[in-house]
Amino acid sequence: MVFSSIPFLYFFLPAVLLCYVIAPRKIKNPVLLIFSLLFYWWGEPKYALVMVFTITFCYFAGILIEKRRNDPKGKLLLTVSVAVPLGLLALFKYADFLLGSVNSLTGADIPLLKLTLPIGISFYTFQALSYLVDVYRGDAPAQKNFISLATYITLFPQLIAGPIVRYTTVSEDLSERKHSLEKVASGIRRFTVGLGKKVLIANLLGSFCTAYRESAEPSVLFAWVYAACFALQIYFDFSAYSDMAIGMGRMLGFRFLENFNYPFISKSITEFWRRWHISLGSWFRDYVYIPLGGNRVGAKRQIFNILVVWCLTGLWHGANWTFMAWGLYFGILLIVEKLFLKKRLEKFPAFFQHIYVLFFVLISFVIFNADTFTMAKNDLSIMFGLGGLPLISDDTVYNLSSYAVLLVLAFIGATPLCKNLFKKTEKNAVVQVIEVLGVGVILILSTAYLVDGSFNPFLYFRF
C-alpha cells in the first residue's frame, strides 16, 4: 500500500487518525502498532514474521547490552546482536547477488534462493541497529516496554522508504508526545505538498523518462534532458515520501528530522551529500565512518574509510555491481574534493560551482538507473556524442515542447525559491487563505490523477 493510493488516502489513513484520536493516551502506542503491522502485512503478509522476529530479538538484546555495557564481553554481545538483523538483511537482499557473482566468476551453477525482498527491510534494519548501538554507547537507555520499541521499529509513516529515524530522536515521543491542532494542520499541509510532488511532478517526469527509453529517434540533447529528468524524478519521488512521512509524524505527535534540503543548489559534491538523503548520510557517518577513525587518522586510512562507507552506501541501495560503481564514483569524487579540489573550487564563481555539481550528479544518476554496465555505457556514450546519434531530433523537439511546463516547474521546485517567497508573506491573511485553497487543489488534482490509474510506484521501494 503506497501513500499515493486511493486505499491509503481515503480508507487507511482516516481510519488510523480516527482511532488514534479517540484512543486514550495509554493505548495510543498499541493502536499505532496494530495499524503499522496491518500496513506492513498488507504489502508483505508472509514477511511480517521477519519484522516481528527482529523486534523481539532487539528488545531482549537491548536489555542484555545495557546490563553488560561495561563488561569485557559487552562488545562481543553487541557484535552478535548487530549480526542477527544484518544477517537477515544480507539473506534477503544480497544472497542471490553473491551467489550469482560466484557463479559468474567460477563457472559454478549454485542455485539461487530467489527470495522476495521484504519491503522496507533496509530502513527498519538500520533503525534497529541504531537502537542497539545507542544503547551500548549509553546514548539511550534500553527500552523496557516492548510495545514502545515495536512501535518505533514498525511506525508506518517512515517504515518502507524512510527517512531513517533514530531511536534517540523519538525516544521521548514514544513515552509522551504533545498534540495540537497547529501540529495537525502543519502535518496535513506537509503531507499534501508531498503528495503533490509525487503524483503531479515525479510521476510525470517518469513519463518523460519512459518516452526517452521508447523513442525511435534518441539524440544527444534528449539523453541529457533524460538524465536531468531522472535525477529530478528520483528527488521529487523520494523527498515526497519524506514529506508525507514527516507530515504524518506531526499529525501523530512525532518529530521526524528533515531528509532533503534542496541538494541541487549545492556548490560541491560534499555539500550535495549533506543535503541529499540526510538520514542515510548521517547514519553512515555516525555508525561506520567515525568508528573506523573518521578524519582523526592519516590520509591513507581516511581514504580507505571513505571508500568503505561509499561501497556500503552503494550496496545499501541495491544488490547490483552498478550500485557499487555508483557508490565508488561518489567516494572518489569526495576524496578528490577533500584532498585537492575543494579550496580551488571555491575560488571560481558560484555559477561554475553549480554547473560542476550538476554535471557530475547527472552522470551519477545515469549509472544509478542502469541495470548493467553495458546499459550505463550506452547511455553515457549517447550523452557525449559517441553513439553516432544527432545532436537533436524531431522526437526530441516534440517531447521537450510537450513537457516544457513540467520541466520549468520541476527546476523551480528543486530550489528554495518558492519556500523563501512563502516565508516572506506567510503572515499575510490573503496568502494564508491562498495556502489553504492551494492545499485543497493539490489534494483534488492528485486524487483525480490517481483515479485515472496512472503509473504510480515509489522508486525507493526497491531499496
For the chain, what percent of residues have pLDDT higher than 90?
Answer: 60
Catalytic residue ranges: 317
Residues 218-226, mean pLDDT to the nearest whole number: 92
Residues 133 and 192 in one domain: no
Residue 390: give the domain boundaries: 187-267+346-462
Report the C-alpha gap between 199 and 338 in whole angstroms.
Answer: 38
Give me 367's grid cell: 549509472
Confidence of residue 109 (pLDDT cuts 50, 70, 90): confident
Q: Is residue 272 part of a domain?
A: no
Q: Are 383 and 365 in contact (CB under 8 A)?
A: no
Residue 461 has pLDDT above 80, yes or no: no
What pLDDT, on a 0 to 100 scale, did the predictor assign at position 235?
A: 95
Q: Which of 177, 198, 231 is the last residue of a domain?
A: 177
Binned at pLDDT 50, 70 and 90, residue 318 comes out as confident
Domain end (from 177, 202, 234): 177
Residue where one domain finishes, among candidates 152, 177, 202: 177
Do the domain assignments include residue 304? no
Angle at 87 between CA 81 and CA 89, to 5 degrees: 115
Residue 314 lies in a domain: no
**Residue 167 lies inside a defined structural domain of this protein:** yes
Are 126 and 217 members of one domain?
no
Whether 82 and 202 share a structural domain:
no
Mean pLDDT of 63-81: 88
285 is a domain residue: no
- Mean pLDDT estimate for the chain: 89
> pLDDT of 8-66, one tens digit each?
999 999 999 999 999 998 999 999 999 999 988 887 788 888 999 999 999 999 999 99
* Burial class, 430, CB count within 10 angstroms (exposed 0-12 / middle 13-18 / buried 19+): exposed
To 10 degrees, the CA torsion angle through 206, 207, 209, 210?
120
Verify that 114 and 206 share a domain, yes or no.
Answer: no
Sign of CA dihedral 426, 428, 431, 437: positive
Range with lowest mean pLDDT among 156-160, 353-357, 401-405: 156-160
Q: Are residues 85 and 167 in the same domain?
A: yes
Q: In sequence order, which ranges of 197-289 are alpha helices (DSSP H)?
A: 203-214, 220-251, 269-275, 278-284
Task: From 196, 316, 301, select the one nearest 247 (Cα to Cα).
Answer: 196
Residue 449 falls inside a structural domain: yes
Together in a domain, 137 and 156: yes
pLDDT digits (tens, 9 = 90+) for 411-434: 999 999 888 887 877 777 787 888
Number of domains in the chain: 2
> Based on the domain organization, do 225 and 144 belong to the same domain?
no
Judge if 163 and 225 occupy the same domain.
Answer: no
Whether 168 and 43 map to the same domain: the answer is yes
Grid cell digits, residue 55:
523486534
Grid cell listed for 227:
538524465
Is the model's pLDDT at 271 over the cut of 90? yes
